[in-house]
Structure 1
Amino acid sequence: MSEKRGSFKSSFGFVAACIGSAVGMGNIWMFPTRVSLYGGGSFLIPYVVFVILIGFTGVTGEMSFGRAARSGPVDAFGIACEKKGKRKIGEILGMIPVLGSLAMAIGYTVVMGWILKYTAEALTGFSMDSAEEYAAAFGEMASAFGNDGWQIIALILCMVILMLGVGHGIEKANKVMMPAFFILFVILAVYVAFQPGAREGYQYIFRIDPAALKDPATWIFALGQAFFSLSVAGNGTLIYGSYLPDQEDIPASAGRVAFFDTLAALLAALVIIPAMAMTGAQLDQGGPGLLFIYLPNLIHTMAGGSVIMIVFFVAVFFAGMSSLINLYEAPIATVQEKLKLGRVPACALVGGISVIISLVIQGIVSDWMDVLSIYICPLGAGLAGIMFFWVLGKSYVEEQVNRGRERKYTKVFYPICKYIYIPVCILVLVLGIALGGIG
């Protein structure tokens, strides 16, 4: 017997959950690196432009599509294609973002195992004293079956939250984790600001280099950073939108999500780049190496480094867990809808599949995530955009986007989404394939 569909209890809870889905490792281990590599403020300018564009179009569209369908991607795509008598085709296409979300969640589970282990190490005190020791420890942890216990615990914590449902699980967890994340990173930013040598980092972050602005790579990687950071992929944002009441002003909520996601990325840059500048280190490598090797080695040399390490990894854990919850929600909701299972059995089924696959892919998780980010995420976003803006059409879109608003949303929304946003999704897919990833 299927259970009554869950819903968010408050606008703040919904926005906190969407911010949680957007704020993740891309903000922490990739954004500061991109700022460092592409001219500081010269990177921020195109990044903000693309955040506004994608927040205005893709985030608003996926939230509205989900609320209109009151379902996950499979039924939403099916409803869109039903008008053409092709519901089954729509449902098959809807499985692409759902399976992509599940695969991404499985890969992210491996990363969350690493984060949980480092958080525990920070609380008990790291035993490593050099970059070489951190590198060796991370290499061992990231190898095949190198971190089974912590990875399973991270997955169990995530599934427990999801089993509690939308209002009592996802919403309440994000109401705690997201404010805590921002508070902890503000504390870190203030601490770093008072350290000698930090000034050079700030000067770099906000300087404008005309040559970098003219470099196509700056714009390409700013687009990739904004696109993937805002989590438009036809799955997580769409499914969260499906739990919204008709009274919710979706464009306003999408704007808040884009703002706080950008704020989180800037906070990470304001912590990491000045911290690196204090030692004269060049931030030219992002990804797991930055988070698990270079930063811990740097932090342990600072005054009060053990406390800073705790604050940092607890904040990172909150950011990662909020994203993991979002990634698992679309496949869990789909299992509930299609197999008519209750919430707890659906979580148990998805969790059981995930624990097996996540343990198997530990040694290849980087390649696993690269394939998904290059191919599946932009494809899912593009398909959702095509279904909503092209298949369902202008009158339907405008009705859904304006629901819950006191005044009608701008008339340029629909043509910008139809003729700019969807080509952007295709562009992200093509550039990702050509360059080996831009997110």
Structure 2
Amino acid sequence: MAAAGSAVGLGNIWGFPTQAASNGGAAFLIVYLILAFVLAYPALMAELVLGRHAHANAVTALKGTSSNPLLRNLGATAGIVGFIVASLILSFYAIVAGWMIAHCLASLAALVGATDLAEWLVGFSLTRNVIFMTLFMGMTIAIISAGVRDGIERWSSRLMPLLLLTLFALVVYVLTLDGASEGLRVYLMPDFESALSPQLIIKALGSAFFSLSLGVGTMLIYGSYISDKENLPVAGGLVTAVDIGIAVLAGFLVLPAMYVALNNGVEIFAADGALLSEDTLIFTVLPELFSNMGLAGGMVSLTFFFLMSIAALTSSISMLEVPVAYTIENHGVKRLRAVMVIGALIAMVSLIILLNFGTLFGAIIALTTRYSQPLLGFVFCIYVGWIWHRDAVLTELKKGAPDIAEGLFWKIWPWHLRLVCPAIILLIFVQSLR
């Protein structure tokens, strides 16, 4: 549940639907689904297997795959880069999550008649952004400080079912509104020519890795906490299925909601047909939709942004755990001190982004999710597929699945991880540089 909570976050409910809306709807959905199963699931399994074997962070785990000094140092470097990237992701993630909390409270303020407060909460001001970024980082720090069982696991097991129920209820409601059918058509009727666009494929790969928290050692950390009795291919499959399922379900909410808003006179497209305000779509289009729905709109808005805040929190705790686990395990720092110091440093980076928003916000999202995560995922594939001894991999998998050597997973996954995943990731990455 905790691993699924890490995978399910703003990447599913903010990132995926926004990317789908900007890149052909169903065409993006098809490419995303293909890449999630062909690349993301095998890469997820590499992190889980390596993490459980080492029962340690990415730096220690990658070093342990080889006795060669050069390979050990390269592995350690990749692990360090991974937790730096995870920290950078959390730095912009905390900003967006702060917006979610502010909009949630704005909906509540509007319902009780505090109009001025509601307007301030939805206004894009530095003061508001700093306050709610800091609040969100404080919540994340508080949960991580409690540890794995009392913090991460307890809160993920509480928040994930609530997230699923709320999302499903919102989808059912939005699909009953005028204009929703056009959004469904865009989401489900593909333009196959668009699906072959290199830029669409690059964005779909980044979306798949971002939504599954891959490439930065998050899933490796969670793998290190998994019992030896667990069947890893099944656990990884469940995490992938839950993650993809919620992303697809979120698409059934956001795209129909966009066209409901369009039906109500809200502009969502520019003159050239491009989507307006891609990164801030749900903060511009959806509030306009909710405001046209009267009292019911206020309740739906409150529910939606509460849902988004939950999704953000289940993922942020896993991102903060990546550098925290390294600091605790490799440098012997107490958990509370590590969490407080690292959380404060990431909050400082968030503040720098807010002070230079136009320059840094989009650039850091692109750097981390479109380029760094797939490249780090490539490194994990190489280390597990080529450097770590095949017999050691099989031995680890057998702990929770004694008959795995005779199954289809073992006949396909090792070679797929060795040859197919690295080749496709590199091909897509090279294409992205053109």
Q: What interval of TM-score do these two structures reach, taking the shorter chain for normalisation?
A: 0.7 to 0.9
Are residue 417 (structure 1) and residue 417 (structure 2) matched? yes
Render the CA deviation track for 1:201-230: whole Å, top value 9, x for unaligned: 223322233433454554444333323322
Are residue 294 (structure 1) and residue 285 (structure 2) matched? yes
**More displaced 10-residue stretch of structure 1: 164-173 or 223-232:** 223-232
- The aligned counterpart of 1:224 is 206
How many residue pairs align between the two structures? Answer: 413
- The aligned counterpart of 1:25 is 10
CA distance in 2, matches of 1:295, 1:216: 29
Would you say the 8 A contact 1:138–1:293 is kept in 2? no
- The aligned counterpart of 2:81 is 96
CA distance in 2, matches of 1:383, 1:60: 13
**In the alignment, residue 293 of structure 2 is paired with which amino acid?**
M
- The aligned counterpart of 2:255 is 273
- The aligned counterpart of 1:346 is 338
When residues 429 and 215 of structure 1 are mapped into structure 2, their CA distance, relative to the original with a 3 A threshold, is: closer
- The aligned counterpart of 2:169 is 187
Give identity over the alignment, percent.
27
Render the CA deviation track for 1:225-259: whole Å, top value 9, x for unaligned: 32332221141011110111111111111111111
When residues 166 and 428 of structure 1 are mapped into structure 2, their CA distance, relative to the original with a 3 A threshold, is: farther
Alignment of 1:116-155 (within 5 A): 116-125=101-110, 140-141=124-125, 143=126, 147-155=129-137
TM-score, normalising length: structure 1? 0.86
Are residue 241 (structure 1) and residue 223 (structure 2) matched? yes
Render the CA deviation track for 1:25-61: whole Å, top value 9, x for unaligned: 2222332234334444333333222111134311111
Would you say the 8 A contact 1:39–1:207 is kept in 2? no
CA distance in 2, matches of 1:36, 1:201: 9
Would you say the 8 A contact 2:8–2:211 is kept in 1? yes
**In the alignment, residue 67 of structure 1 is paired with which amino acid?**
R
Alignment of 1:32-431 (within 5 A): 32-83=17-68, 87-125=72-110, 140-141=124-125, 143=126, 147-278=129-260, 279-280=262-263, 282=268, 284-285=275-276, 287-303=278-294, 304-362=296-354, 363=357, 364-408=360-404, 409-431=409-431
SS at match of 1:372: helix
CA distance in 1, matches of 2:278, 2:231: 36
Would you say the 8 A contact 1:107–1:365 is kept in 2? yes
CA distance in 2, matches of 1:116, 1:219: 32
**In the alignment, residue 269 of structure 1 is paired with which amino acid?**
G
SS at match of 2:213: coil
**In the alignment, residue 27 of structure 1 is paired with which amino acid?**
N
**In the alignment, residue 102 of structure 1 is paired with which amino acid?**
S
Would you say the 8 A contact 2:40–2:208 is kept in 1? no
When residues 161 and 137 of structure 1 are mapped into structure 2, their CA distance, relative to the original with a 3 A threshold, is: closer
TM-score, normalising length: structure 2? 0.87
- The aligned counterpart of 1:12 is none
- The aligned counterpart of 1:13 is none
Would you say the 8 A contact 2:103–2:122 is kept in 1? no
When residues 102 and 218 of structure 1 are mapped into structure 2, their CA distance, relative to the original with a 3 A threshold, is: closer
CA distance in 2, matches of 1:128, 1:207: 43
Would you say the 8 A contact 2:102–2:122 is kept in 1? no
Would you say the 8 A contact 1:398–1:414 is kept in 2? no
CA shift for structure 1 position 101: 1.1
CA distance in 2, matches of 1:357, 1:217: 29
Render the CA deviation track for 1:352-380: whole Å, top value 9, x for unaligned: 22222222221233322222223322222
When residues 424 and 285 of structure 1 are mapped into structure 2, their CA distance, relative to the original with a 3 A threshold, is: farther
Would you say the 8 A contact 1:30–1:286 is kept in 2? no
